[in-house]
């Protein structure tokens, strides 16, 4: 009887949530203009170095000249040994993160989406979260003056009051732990009423001596009788439901380590997370000025958390005075004198690095694809692909080159402790393959062969060894509306002119694409009949033609159907 009551309550809450948040399934017409900011390096552009530090959101850094040997590619991936029925694991990103942590003696700043939550049903071979916690604690013990900062999404506290033993251990060791506010990014909702209501509540709370907060906080702590009553080790409360309803996150994955005067940053798609340990991911580490830029990006985010008050920053009710001291002394702004200009890009044939966030990532991806020309080869390895402007940019790029455009996609059938139906990759891949056949384009798709893990990569290279074109981007952003339209907080790195970096990724891509390791399978054909990853249930649409009741469907000038993107939750 109790279970029946919970089921009825859950259904009623879901119906109410669907009615109130109907706009969450946002519809965006293809062909809408992208970000207005111009993207791309130019030797003529000189940027005042005093004013190049980032704001919190929607940044595209200057192009920094770097030595090619100051950039490295790191990766983690798994294959399947069918004979022994086991994974073959290559986990390089975790080892690089450990090295960076052990090198830091001035600053160690990390931003991540998943860390010590969303536990997997099967325990990993070892507890990588505890290993990282132990390393950071030991580094703080060895270097008491080290400023160590961890920036987490609110999912880590169950959008409520959860605090894990890992966070407690870090705080006890002197690590400043921030929870990142998400409300000032673009709305994931069609009608952003909920976010407006929360902002109004915040304003009234700030101007009414905190009385609304005192009154409402006990209400938000009330348990909600859903069918599932716990998120990790925290009960499901009203604050959990309301926090999850925003449908967005700080999805960035950044690590900055400073030893002496040596600055180093790692921009990656990998979460340092036990249930994600076997996922395929890439990371680029870079030393020098880009790392200083990444640090300032993280500082802006931490300052935003401090402004939001005790629930978001480490200092409780004393947060205002402590925050001012922290950002002046422990995590100061990096000020430059006029003779300390960064190495901005001055030569087209140099190795150049740019860091982009939020909507500027889409501008960078589209610019890379728009520059594809004869002889260029495009390689993409992606977890989620659904963003219509990018999908059509891939087709347009294939029309301009005589080489193949190849995509190694996740089949979107495996989540952490749940199964998925193939959305959006099954539908997006089907559209790409069918349109390519109709238009006579060389677009090829293969599926990553998953066995409980995910092809969590978000990486693309454009290579032409004849013309010397070597371009690459990777980072946290999937190619979805949520990741590219300024809804989530995201961070990607763009690298131009790094021949060895491109060659290393391309070689690994060919290894995965062609299953060249004896006895190990990394990928399967798009239409493999044993797996049927190209088939999908149709329960969840990725995109549809508007006005299907019309006798003649709408078409774009290039003959492709006019499609409307429809998404639910794709991180």
Residue 523 belongs to what H/E stretch? strand 523-525
Residue ranges covered by each domain of the chain:
70-330, 342-566
DSSP string computed for 198-267 = HHHHHHHHHTTTTHHHHHHHHHHTSB---SS-EETTEE-BHHHHHHHTT---B---EEEEEETTEEEEEE
Give the pLDDT confidence score for residue 562 in this predicted structure.
85
DSSP string computed for 426-460 = HHHHHHHHHHHHHHT--EEEEEE--SSS-B--EEE
Q: Are 159 and 133 in contact (CB under 8 A)?
A: no
**What radius of gyration, in Å, describes the C-alpha atoms of the chain?**
24
Within the chain, which residues score under 50 in pLDDT?
A: 2, 5, 7-50, 337-340
**CA–centroid distance for 442 within its chain:** 29
Give the pLDDT confidence score for residue 191 in this predicted structure.
62
| Sheet architecture: strand order including 523-525 | 64-65, 352-357, 491-496, 469-475, 458-464, 377-382, 405-409, 443-448, 523-525
Please state the length of the chain. 571
Q: Are 554 and 17 in contact (CB under 8 A)?
A: no
Give the pLDDT confidence score for residue 40 in this predicted structure.
36
**CA–centroid distance for 211 within its chain:** 37
Look-up of token digits 């409980």? 452
Find the largest Cα–Cα distance for the chain. Answer: 75
The SS3 of residue 344 is strand
Q: Are 435 and 446 in contact (CB under 8 A)?
A: no
Same fold, 70-330 and 342-566: yes
Cα distance between residue 2 and residue 102, in whole Å: 52
Give the pLDDT confidence score for residue 93 in this predicted structure.
97
CATH of 70-330, one of 2.60.120.260, 3.30.870.10, 3.40.1050.10, 3.40.50.1820: 3.30.870.10
Within 13 Å and on the Cβ side, how many CA atoms surround 367? Answer: 21
Give the pLDDT confidence score for residue 163 in this predicted structure.
85
Give the pLDDT confidence score for residue 48 in this predicted structure.
43
φ, ψ of residue 219 in degrees (nearest 5): -65, -45
- 342-566 — its CATH code? 3.30.870.10
């Amino acid at each position: 009887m109790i279970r029946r009551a919970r089921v009825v309550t859950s259904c009623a809450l879901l119906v109410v949530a669907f009615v109130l948040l109907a706009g969450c399934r946002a519809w965006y017409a293809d062909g809408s203009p992208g970000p207005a900011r111009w993207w791309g390096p130019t030797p003529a552009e000189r940027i005042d170095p005093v004013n190049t530090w980032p704001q919190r959101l929607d940044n595209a850094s200057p192009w920094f000249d770097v030595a090619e040997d100051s950039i490295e590619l790191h990766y983690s991936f798994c294959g399947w040994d069918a004979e022994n029925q086991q994974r073959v694991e290559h986990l390089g990103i975790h080892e690089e993160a450990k090295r960076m942590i052990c090198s830091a003696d001035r600053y160690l700043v990390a931003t991540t989406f998943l860390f010590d939550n969303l536990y997997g049903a099967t325990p990993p071979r070892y507890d990588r979260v505890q290993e990282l916690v132990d390393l950071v604690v030991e580094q703080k013990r060895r270097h008491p003056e080290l400023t160590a900062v961890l920036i987490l999404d609110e999912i880590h506290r169950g959008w409520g009051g959860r605090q894990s033993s890992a966070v407690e251990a870090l705080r006890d060791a002197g690590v400043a732990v921030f929870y990142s506010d998400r409300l000032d990014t673009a709305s994931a909702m069609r009608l952003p009423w909920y976010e407006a209501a929360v902002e109004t509540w915040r304003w009234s709370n700030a101007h009414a001596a905190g009385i609304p907060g005192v009154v409402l906080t006990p209400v938000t702590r009330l348990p909600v009788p859903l069918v599932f009553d716990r998120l990790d080790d925290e009960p499901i409360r009203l604050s959990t439901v309301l926090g999850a309803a925003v449908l967005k996150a700080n999805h960035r994955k950044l690590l900055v380590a400073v030893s002496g005067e040596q600055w180093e940053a790692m921009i990656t798609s990998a979460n340092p997370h036990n249930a994600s340990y076997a996922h395929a991911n890439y990371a680029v580490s870079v030393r020098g000025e880009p790392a200083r830029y990444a640090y300032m990006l993280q500082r802006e985010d931490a300052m935003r958390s401090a402004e939001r008050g005790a629930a978001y920053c480490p200092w409780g009710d004393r947060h205002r005075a402590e925050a001012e001291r922290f950002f002046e002394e422990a995590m100061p702004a990096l000020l430059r004198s006029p003779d300390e200009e960064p190495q901005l890009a001055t030569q087209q044939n140099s190795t150049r690095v740019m860091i982009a966030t939020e909507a500027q990532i889409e501008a960078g991806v589209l610019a890379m694809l728009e520059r594809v020309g004869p002889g260029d080869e495009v390689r993409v390895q992606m977890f989620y692909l659904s963003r219509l402007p990018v999908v059509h940019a891939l087709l347009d790029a294939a029309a301009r080159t005589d080489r193949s455009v190849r995509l190694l996609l996740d089949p979107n059938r495996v989540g952490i402790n749940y199964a998925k139906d193939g959305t959006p990759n099954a539908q997006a891949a089907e559209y790409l393959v069918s349109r390519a056949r109709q238009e006579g384009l060389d677009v090829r798709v293969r599926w990553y062969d998953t066995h409980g893990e995910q092809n969590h990569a978000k990486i693309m290279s454009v290579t032409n060894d004849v013309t010397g074109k070597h371009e690459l981007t990777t980072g946290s952003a999937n190619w979805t509306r949520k990741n590219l339209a300024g809804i989530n907080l995201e961070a990607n790195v763009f690298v131009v002119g790094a021949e060895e970096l491109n060659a290393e990724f391309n070689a690994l891509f060919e290894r995965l694409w062609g299953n060249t390791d004896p006895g190990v399978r990394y990928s399967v054909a798009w239409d493999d009949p044993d797996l049927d990853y190209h088939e999908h249930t149709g329960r969840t649409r990725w995109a549809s033609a508007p006005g299907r009741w019309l006798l003649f469907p709408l078409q774009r000038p290039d003959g492709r159907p006019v499609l409307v993107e429809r998404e639910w939750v794709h991180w």
